[in-house]
Amino acid sequence: MLNVRETLKEVLSLTAKNNQWRRKEAVNLIASENVMSELAEAVYLSDFMSRYAEGKPRKRYYQGTRYIDDLEIKLSELVGETLGFPMVETRPISGTIANASVFRVLGNPGDKALIAPVQAGSHVSHTKFGTLGALGMTQIYMPYDEQSMNVDVDKAIKIINEDEFKFIVLGGSVYLFPHPVKEISQAAKEKGIKIVYDAAHVFGLIVGGKWRNPLKEGADVMTASTHKTYPGPQGGIIIFSDEQTHKAVSKTIFPYFLSNHHLHRIPATLVTHLEMIEFGEAYASSVVNNARALAEALAEEGFKVLGEHLGYTQSHQVVIDVSKEGGGAKCAELLERANIITNKNLLPHDPPDAVQNPSGIRLGTQEMTRYGMGRSEMIEIANLMKRVVIEKEEPEKVASDVKELRKGFLERKYGFSLADAEDVEELLLLRR
């Protein structure tokens, strides 16, 4: 028979243990994660988490939305001003939902979409295995150029001219260098094909001015997540350069793909965006510099780091080939035991069926940068990883050194603290 109080105690204990481990003892190198600032977390835990606001601001199907309307409008305005494109949708609750809403408008079941190849970083939602397939559409991969580690522009343009596609998808989840939007956009526009750029991973770098803005290079739509290099709450966002597509997608998000859009995200994302306006350029620059420093240090330690001939990376990501060390699954597990959190990942030469034990590991520097780590810490992390993966040192022994490193990096940087809010005591009182 269930003992409610004992189960409650277990739930609280496991949550506390996770907080202690992930925020005070581990070095997190998952490229798709980040942490909010203290102030963003404070407004995230508000009454909005219990409320509904179906529809668009000022046109809701529920009463009681006067304040979320104001916040949602303000968020759209600020994001639009920052990026230079005022048509913004803040309601998607994830990057995948953002993609689904756009794909549903741009294509119909049976239509073909031209997408970046897996080797160049396409996300599962772009493929027949994910959202595109769920909508009944067909994927065609663009050719991959091994030398540039990117889409082969000439061959992609040839395919665009020879076949019929409803839209093209660039951007994705594992890519070290910007995709060639400008180079492909002219051929796409001549045939009336829309370009969708999935900026989930690099949205913070775009806002911070350290990654090309795809809308300025010819993309019609940019989808993104708000919790990777952009260090906000988990959620999605869409920015448009095309008014017709904006209107159609706005009518599709609700009621096709969501009802309520998790309102507590909105003020937390607003706080995050204000942080990015104030600190974003410095933060994005540090993230990219740290990624390059980590890549160089890993190479010095004997790891096979992809992209050496191109300078390793221009994003927050670093990708290493650990096939000789036992593969991505084994190495990621060993590193986790050492309190270094990473994820296994397919590499360009891997067959698709190697997904459970691929050759690679994907790393990201955005969260540790937010905790204040810099070049010297990237060098130390590379050495700690070498001890586990190459020298085969007992992971639990290395874990104690990782904890020691992490002790000096517990305070979140490039954001607002509770002390930055004049009415923070009132805010916290309302939370209670």
Which CATH number do you get for residue 105? 3.40.640.10
pTM of this prediction? 0.96
Residue 203 within a domain: yes
Q: Are residues 211 and 305 in the same domain?
A: no
Q: Are residues 48 and 82 in the same domain?
A: yes
Q: Mean pLDDT over residues 23-27, rounded?
A: 98
- Cα 359 from Cα 349, distance rounded (Å): 9
Which of the four pLDDT bands, split at 50, 70 and 90, describes residue 354?
Answer: confident
Q: Are residues 174 and 317 in the same domain?
A: no
Q: Are residues 264 and 147 in the same domain?
A: yes
Q: Is the dihedral of CA 243, 245, 251, 254 positive or negative?
A: negative
Q: What are phi and psi of 102, to 5 degrees?
A: -75, -45
Q: Are residues 101 and 183 in the same domain?
A: yes
- For 411-420, write each residue's pLDDT tens digit: 999 999 988 8
Share of the chain above pLDDT 70, in %: 98
Q: Are residues 33 and 147 in the same domain?
A: no
Share of the chain above pLDDT 90, in %: 94
- For 279-320, write each residue's pLDDT tens digit: 999 999 999 999 999 999 999 999 999 999 999 999 999 999
Of 192, 201, 200, nearest to 220 by C-alpha is 192
Domain limits at 203? Answer: 42-275
Looking at the 3D structure of the chain, how many domains does it have? 2
pLDDT at residue 29 in the model: 98
Q: Between 348 and 225, where is the model more confident? A: 225
Type of residue at 46: S
Contacts of residue 134, defined as CB under 8 A and 6 or more positions apart, other chains included, come to 100
Residue 13 within a domain: no
- For 102-150, write each residue's pLDDT tens digit: 999 999 999 999 999 988 899 999 999 999 999 999 999 999 999 999 9
Q: Are residues 214 and 254 in the same domain?
A: yes
- For 377-405, write each residue's pLDDT tens digit: 999 999 999 999 999 999 999 999 999 99
Q: Are residues 116 and 220 in the same domain?
A: yes
For tokens 């409803």, what's the residue? 166
Residue 47 within a domain: yes
140 in helix, strand or coil?
strand
Q: Are residues 80 and 94 in the same domain?
A: yes
- Mean residue pLDDT of the chain comes to 96
- For 42-66, write each residue's pLDDT tens digit: 999 999 999 999 999 999 999 999 9
- The yes-or-no verdict on residue 22 having pLDDT over 60 is yes
Structure-token pair, residue 51: 């409320």
Q: Are residues 98 and 229 in the same domain?
A: yes
For position 316, which CATH number holds?
3.90.1150.10
Q: Are residues 189 and 72 in the same domain?
A: yes
pLDDT at residue 419 in the model: 86
Q: Between 172 and 354, where is the model more confident? A: 172
Phi-psi domain of 354 (left: phi exceeds 0; alpha: psi -120 through 50; beta: other): alpha
Q: Mean pLDDT over residues 263-285, rounded?
A: 98
Residue 22 within a domain: no
Q: Which of 275, 300, 326 is the last residue of a domain?
A: 275
Structure-token pair, residue 358: 């691929």
Q: Are residues 141 and 237 in the same domain?
A: yes
- The yes-or-no verdict on residue 430 having pLDDT over 70 is no
Of 194, 221, 197, nearest to 211 by C-alpha is 197
Residue 132 within a domain: yes
- For 208-264, write each residue's pLDDT tens digit: 999 999 999 999 999 999 999 999 999 999 999 999 999 999 999 999 999 999 999
pLDDT at residue 424 in the model: 64
CA distances from 32 to 77, 199, 277, 412 (A): 26, 12, 21, 17
Residue 379 within a domain: yes
Which of the four pLDDT bands, split at 50, 70 and 90, describes residue 426?
Answer: low
Q: Which of 275, 298, 313 is the last residue of a domain?
A: 275
Residue 124 within a domain: yes
- The yes-or-no verdict on residue 431 having pLDDT over 60 is no
CB 80, CB 88: distance < 8 Å? yes
Q: Between 420 and 276, where is the model more confident? A: 276
pLDDT at residue 53 in the model: 96
Residue 82 within a domain: yes
Of 209, 266, 208, nearest to 68 by C-alpha is 266
Q: Which of 243, 275, 307 is the last residue of a domain?
A: 275
Q: Which of 275-297 are b and which e, b meaning 16 or more Cβ less than 10 Å from the residue's Cβ?
A: bbeebbeebbebbbbbbbbbbbb
